[in-house]
């Protein structure tokens, strides 16, 4: 259910944003495309907004949350897999040797994801994710990961929906890792979550249908995969897109290439005190080419330190 | 925009359905799941309804519409492909020899689809579909294919949406063949159309992003593929599903296997006079195993001749 905002109230819809170019650009864009009869008006049905997840809507440092889940899952399953004591990447994970783990490269990463994310039904996997998220805590903030959504971005999502946008997540993360909690945390229902997938297979188990998660990559929703997935799942080009890294560049280019009013935004992590500061040299969430292109083309670059009054929700108190 | 129907008006929402078991089952189900506080109540967000397309929402005889499009496309492109005069399946298509065409089997079919559906951008393909549909006519009814949607099913889609269902198409047909017209004809927006896909590739063409349709199958959304796609695209299990052939059996099984109130329906083509009569022995839209399972499990089987007051819209006059 959308809460209609009159234009005069629009500025109050983003209380955690400092007044500045980024906030003004957002409000100007939304005003433009929702002003009936205006030159930039866009019908409600075409108001598609897509958001990257890790580093755009919630914290991705010091490790992607889903990667932490995978490591924990390996530790849980280890007693049933004595061979993991000597086989990589599991041996390094169990020893807590992160450097040796990283040295196993993409091959190790795929084996880790398959061992932790496949070989169960979709319903079983959903339970694993829910149970893990209920217990896991972020190492620095000592809170559940789902409390580490960025308050200004939650307000932005709600502001767009109040103006009849349909908000989507388009993430490199696994779609079934996100869907159990995106509705509660972001107000984004499962059918508006697009992400990477493993292949699944329909089976009758004791005469009851089940979808088995297979140890085989179906689709990686990153970089040039993002516009491909947007087209496949939504079938409309977004008019508004937000990311935080080079993995979002093609999504932003695809959004920008449409006719009429467009908005492209990047979250730039500049705030080591309240969150993290990283960009061109980070292995997680590297922001390099996209930052150059954003400056060249006048896309909105959010400077976390300058543009956000607070990073996290009320429960953080003043340090958020 | 949904038009709220009070319960007393619900029966009038399906004027093209004769009073009978099928209509009563539909109204009973919708009343049950929308009655707040009732034992079978389902929250609006979970009211997902999935519909097969060919033979469920529009005519599929004597040939799938998309197949006719593919044949016409080959005829249009033939002058640029002199080699097609001797290469199959094109030679048989150009000679109009349907029997020889069928003899080329699945290999021929895939070559036909790739030659007619790939090698252009998604935007170009959309234009081709729009232009073709504006001109093409059904051989028997002498009307545009988009006028051959079943009036009772259009009323059912609208009735469900008026009761806060989200209506989806889940078809073996190509998703990009359907999306250009499903909103106008069925009231189903592009993002609620799921179908078969070819692989696409993001490219910069003269510095402008484009999605190229590649001559490679990505996913076939039929049979056991339907629950796989429903899970991948929607991430919720439907509570209501309608099909017309064995290709829909797994979708109906998947729907039926959920908890709480469920509705499974099949359109049985029993009306050679107003439309077509076919089931167990038809190569198009074969309804055999699913018909047996429907009877065994008490799914709703719509007898087109008996249950539908009219098959097509007003423009058909009394013969519809
Ligand atoms: Ca990211
Ligand atoms: Ca069908």
Read off the pLDDT band of B314 (50, 70, 90). confident
CATH topology of domain A7-60+147-319: Rossmann fold (3.40.50)
Quote the CA–CA distance of A239 and A258 in Å, as a whole number: 8
Do residue A201 and residue B211 have CB atoms under 8 angstroms apart? no
Q: Which residue shows structure tokens 């129907």?
A: B5
DSSP A165: P
Looking at the CA of A282, name the nearest ligand.
1
The chain B residue lying nearest A192, using CA atoms, is B234
A37-51, A68-82, A103-117, B245-259 — which is least confidently predicted?
A: A103-117
Quote the CA–CA distance of A162 and B194 in Å, as a whole number: 27
Q: What is the pLDDT of residue B10?
A: 56
Long-range contacts of B272-276 (CB under 8 A, 24+ apart): B273/B305, B274/B304, B274/B305, B274/B310, B274/B311, B274/B312, B274/B319, B274/B320, B275/B59, B275/B61, B275/B304, B275/B311, B276/B59, B276/B61
% of chain A exceeding 90 in pLDDT: 91
Q: Which residue shows structure tokens 């929250």?
A: B43
- Closest alpha carbon to A150 in A35, A14, A24: A14
A16-20, A107-111, B3-7, B119-123 — which is least confidently predicted?
A: B3-7
Quote the CA–CA distance of A157 and A154 in Å, as a whole number: 5
Read off the pLDDT band of B298 (50, 70, 90). very high
Mean pLDDT of A216-231: 97
Count the residues in chain A.
320
Give the ranges where B118-169 is alpha helix by DSSP (H): 122-135, 151-162
Query: Residue B218 is inside which H or E element, if any?
Result: strand B208-219
Query: Residue A210 is inside which H or E element, if any?
Result: strand A208-219
Nearest beta carbon to residue A224 from set B202, B227, B250: B202
Q: What is the pLDDT of residue B12?
A: 87
> Using CB atoms within 10 A of its CB, is residue A36 exposed (0-12), middle (13-18) or buried (19+)?
exposed
- Ligand 2 centroid – CA B183 distance (Å): 19
The 10s digit of each residue's pLDDT in B27-46 is 999 999 999 999 999 999 99
Nearest beta carbon to residue B175 from set A166, A208, A235: A235
Mean pLDDT of B151-173: 98
Long-range contacts of B216-220 (CB under 8 A, 24+ apart): B216/B114, B216/B118, B217/B110, B218/A232, B220/B172, B220/B196
Taking the domains of chain A in order of start, what are their residue ranges? 7-60+147-319, 65-135
How far is C-alpha B290 from the chain's CA centre? 17
Mean pLDDT of B174-189: 98
How far is C-alpha B137 from the chain's CA centre? 18
Does the pLDDT value for residue B128 go beyond 90? yes
Quote the CA–CA distance of A273 and A277 in Å, as a whole number: 8
Interchain CB contact of A45 with B (< 8 Å)? yes
Instruction: Estimate the crossing angle of helix B65-77 against helix B122-135, to 10 degrees.
Output: 100
Contacts of B199 (CB under 8 A, 6+ apart): B214, B216, B217, B218
Phi, psi of A234 (to 5 degrees): -100, -40
Q: State how far the alpha carbon of A72 is from the alpha carbons of A59, A267, B30, B271, in Å.
A: 18, 29, 44, 59
The 10s digit of each residue's pLDDT in A82-104 is 999 999 999 999 999 989 998 99
Does the pLDDT value for residue A12 go beyond 80? yes
Does the pLDDT value for residue A8 go beyond 90? no
Read off the pLDDT band of B3 (50, 70, 90). very low
User: What's the mean pLDDT when you consider all of chain B?
Assistant: 95
Indicate left, alpha or beta for A260 from its phi (over 0: left) and psi (-120 to 50: alpha).
Answer: left
Read off the pLDDT band of B320 (50, 70, 90). low
Return the biggest CA–CA distance within chain B.
Answer: 68
CATH top class, domain B7-61+146-319 = alpha beta
Q: Is the dihedral of CA A223, A228, A232, A238 positive or negative?
A: positive
Quote the CA–CA distance of B132 and B134 in Å, as a whole number: 5
Indicate left, alpha or beta for B64 from its phi (over 0: left) and psi (-120 to 50: alpha).
Answer: beta
Cβ of B212: how many Cβ atoms within 10 Å?
A: 17
3 state SS of A48: strand
Read off the pLDDT band of B2 (50, 70, 90). very low
Q: What is the pLDDT of residue A9?
A: 54
Mean pLDDT of B265-289: 97
Quote the CA–CA distance of A31 and A261 in Å, as a whole number: 11
A143-147, B104-108, B250-254 — which is least confidently predicted?
A: B104-108
Quote the CA–CA distance of A31 and A163 in Å, as a whole number: 9
Does the pLDDT value for residue B5 go beyond 60? no
Do residue A190 and residue B234 have CB atoms under 8 angstroms apart? yes
Does the pLDDT value for residue B8 go beyond 50? no
Mean pLDDT of B109-133: 96
Quote the CA–CA distance of B255 and B314 in Å, as a whole number: 33
Nearest beta carbon to residue A234 from set B191, B201, B250: B191
| Pairing verdict, β B263-270 and B277-278 | antiparallel
- Ligand 1 centroid – CA A251 distance (Å): 12
The 10s digit of each residue's pLDDT in A145-192 is 999 999 999 999 999 999 999 999 999 999 999 999 999 999 999 999
Do residue A233 and residue B235 have CB atoms under 8 angstroms apart? no
- Under a CB-based contact definition with an 8 Å cutoff, are residues A240 and A160 in contact? yes
The secondary structure of A192-205 as a DSSP string is GEEEEEEEEEEEEE
- Within 8 A of A233 by CB-CB distance, chain B residues are 191, 233
- Closest alpha carbon to A252 in A286, A281, A224: A224
The 10s digit of each residue's pLDDT in A299-311 is 999 999 999 999 9
- Ligand 1 centroid – CA B192 distance (Å): 26
Interchain CB contact of A122 with B (< 8 Å)? yes
Does the pLDDT value for residue A3 go beyond 50? no
The minimum CA-CA distance between B271 and chain A, rounded to whole Å, is: 33
């Amino acid at each position: 259910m959308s809460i209609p905002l009159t234009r005069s109230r629009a500025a109050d819809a983003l209380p955690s944003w400092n007044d500045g170019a980024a906030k003004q650009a957002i409000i100007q864009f939304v005003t433009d495309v929702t002003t009936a009869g205006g030159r930039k008006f866009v019908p409600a049905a075409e108001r598609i907004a897509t958001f990257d997840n890790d580093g755009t809507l919630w914290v991705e440092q010091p490790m992607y949350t889903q990667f932490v889940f995978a490591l924990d899952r390996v530790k849980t399953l280890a007693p049933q897999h004595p061979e993991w004591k000597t086989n990589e990447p599991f041996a390094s994970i169990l020893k807590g040797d992160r450097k040796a783990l990283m040295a196993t490269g993409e091959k190790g990463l795929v084996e880790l994801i398959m061992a932790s994310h496949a070989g169960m039904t979709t319903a079983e996997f959903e339970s694993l994710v829910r149970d893990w998220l209920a217990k896991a805590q972020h190492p620095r903030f000592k809170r559940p990961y789902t409390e580490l959504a960025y308050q200004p971005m939650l307000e932005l999502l709600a502001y767009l929906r109040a103006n009849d946008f349909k908000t989507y997540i388009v993430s490199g993360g696994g779609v079934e890792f996100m869907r159990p909690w995106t509705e509660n945390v972001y107000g984004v229902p499962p059918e508006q979550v697009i992400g990477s997938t493993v292949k699944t297979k329909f089976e009758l188990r004791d005469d009851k249908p089940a979808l088995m998660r297979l140890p085989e990559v179906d689709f990686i929703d990153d970089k040039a995969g993002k516009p491909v997935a947007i087209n496949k799942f939504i079938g409309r080009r977004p008019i508004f897109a937000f990311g935080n890294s080079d993995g979002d560049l093609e999504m932003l280019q695809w959004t920008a290439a449409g006719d009429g009013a467009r908005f492209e935004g990047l979250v730039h992590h500049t705030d080591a005190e309240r969150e993290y500061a990283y960009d061109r040299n980070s292995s997680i969430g590297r922001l390099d080419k996209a930052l150059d292109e954003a400056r060249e083309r006048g896309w909105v670059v959010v400077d976390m330190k300058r543009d956000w009054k607070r990073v996290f929700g009320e429960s953080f108190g003043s340090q958020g």
